[in-house]
């Protein structure tokens, strides 16, 4: 086997290893999701709750979380503007006192 062929083979092996890791990660994530969904379904049937209602509530919760994040960012920006405005005003006040 030539060095060039060996390098290609090694590269292919590394790619396959990476694909395997990604696939294994995906499988594990899906298994966890499946377990969570099974628990939710079991809880729903035990409590007599409609699973569709839970899904609707979860979607609404996600919307509210996104909205909260937007509002939090706006609040941060407003606070930064307020601090900047205050620091500018403080600078003007101190200049007026010196005059």
Give the tens place of pLDDT for each residue, 21-77.
999 999 999 999 999 989 888 888 888 888 888 888 889 999 999 999 999 999 999
Q: Is 99 helix (H, G, I), strand (E, B) or coil?
A: coil
Q: Please report the pLDDT score of residue 29 as a whole number.
A: 95
- Do residues 97 and 61 share a domain? yes
- Do residues 54 and 44 share a domain? no
Burial code (b: 16+ CB inside 10 Å, e: under 16) for 20-34 equals eeeeeeeeeeeeeee
pLDDT tens-place string over residues 12-21: 999 999 999 9
Where in the sequence is the domain holding 59, given as residue range(s)? 50-99
pLDDT tens-place string over residues 79-91: 999 888 878 777 7
Q: Please report the pLDDT score of residue 46 as a whole number.
A: 85
What length is written for the chain? Answer: 99
- Do residues 39 and 18 share a domain? yes
pTM for this entry? 0.47
- Do residues 55 and 45 share a domain? no
Total domains in the chain come to 2
Q: Please report the pLDDT score of residue 98 as a whole number.
A: 64
Distance CA 29, CA 36 (A): 11
């Amino acid at each position: 086997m030539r060095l060039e062929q060996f390098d290609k083979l090694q590269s292919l092996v590394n790619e396959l290893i990476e694909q395997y890791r990604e696939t294994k990660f995906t499988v594990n994530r899906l298994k966890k999701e499946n377990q969570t969904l099974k628990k939710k379904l079991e809880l729903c049937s035990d409590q007599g709750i409609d699973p569709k209602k839970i899904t609707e509530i979860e979607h609404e919760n996600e919307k509210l979380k996104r909205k909260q994040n937007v509002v939090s960012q706006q609040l941060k920006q407003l606070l930064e503007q307020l601090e900047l405005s205050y620091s500018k005003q403080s600078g003007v006040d101190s200049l007026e006192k010196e005059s």
